Amino acid sequence: MQTKSSYRVLKWTFMVGTMVSLGACVVTSGDGGDDDFSDGGESGSSTTAGKTSTAGTGGSTSTAGKTSTGGSAGTTTTTGGAGGDGGAPSSYVPGLCQVDDPTPTSLPSCTLDAKDQDPANACRTCLKTQCCDDWKTCFGDSPTTACGSGPTEEADGQFECIRGCYLDDMSGNDPEMVLGDCESKCLGQCEAKDTDGFALNDTQALLGCGQEKCLAECFTP
């Protein structure tokens, strides 16, 4: 069971004042680091299940030197493997949750690349330069964590889910309240495991750094 990260003490304290002055900034959701950042190999597993049974009737089994006597020809039955008829199972593995205590060993580089020159990726660029360690941990590999990898290959991890949820909110409520609601909605695959309603510590760390150092780039609608 994870505990509230220290970012909750400072959580969103910069939001209200800064959002008024930076309200004109426009940032595209989904540019924080939700695609191929890992320098390591792709993690995944492939499972193919099959069972073969051979049955004979009328035969007896030899025991202690006794010879078995005639049985009729056996039959062979094969059940379909995982993935359906002729289908290949997905190799995607959801990011691990807090209770799994994940520590990525293959980390992406914070060196800016051609993608970072696109203004639409301003949040990703800022996080790589201002919150490098937290960004690498969130989007690291071997294993992946729920911070950067969602329940399916197409789904955002917790960080991008929370950020996108906040940017899409039009309720006009207090930013801290909005972000708290978004956090509880973006537990993803960890909802059943982490029942206290908080995101991973790694997610909280990147959120805290992002709201402190990349507020305009990442959290200004």
List, for residues 112-124, the tens digit of each pLDDT value.
Answer: 999 999 999 999 9
170, 78 contact by CB (below 8 A) = no
Q: Where are the beta strands (DSSP E) in 51-171?
A: 52-55, 75-78
Task: Flag whether 147 is in a domain.
Answer: yes
Q: Which pLDDT value is given to residue 123?
A: 97
Task: Flag whether 63 is in a domain.
Answer: no
Domain of 156?
12-34+95-219
Q: How far is CA 116 from the centre of its chain?
A: 22
- Give the pair of three-digit tokens for residue 115: 């993608």
Q: What is the mean pLDDT of residues 149-172?
A: 93
- Integer Cα distance of 129 and 65 in angstroms: 76
Say how many C-beta atoms besides its own lie within 10 A of residue 149's C-beta.
28
Task: Flag whether 191 is in a domain.
Answer: yes
Which 3 state secondary structure label does DSSP give 164? helix
Give the CA distances from residue 18 to residues 22, 73, 152, 163, 196, in Å, rounded to whole numbers and listed in that order.
6, 81, 34, 16, 30
196-220 residue pLDDT tens: 778 999 999 999 999 999 999 999 8
The helix (H) or strand (E) run that includes residue 8 is helix 7-10
Q: Which pLDDT value is given to residue 124?
A: 96
Q: At what angle do helices 158-168 and 201-213 cross, to 10 degrees?
A: 50
Percent of the chain with pLDDT over 90: 48
Task: Flag whether 123 is in a domain.
Answer: yes
Structural domains of the chain, count: 1
53-108 residue pLDDT tens: 444 444 444 344 444 444 444 444 443 334 444 455 569 999 999 999 999 999 99
Task: Flag whether 64 is in a domain.
Answer: no
Task: Flag whether 41 is in a domain.
Answer: no
Most trustworthy range by pLDDT among 38-47, 162-171, 207-216: 207-216
- Give the pair of three-digit tokens for residue 67: 């010879």
Task: Flag whether 189 is in a domain.
Answer: yes
- Integer Cα distance of 162 and 168 in angstroms: 10
Task: Flag whether 74 is in a domain.
Answer: no
Confidence of residue 141 (pLDDT cuts 50, 70, 90): very high
Q: Which pLDDT value is given to residue 195?
A: 60
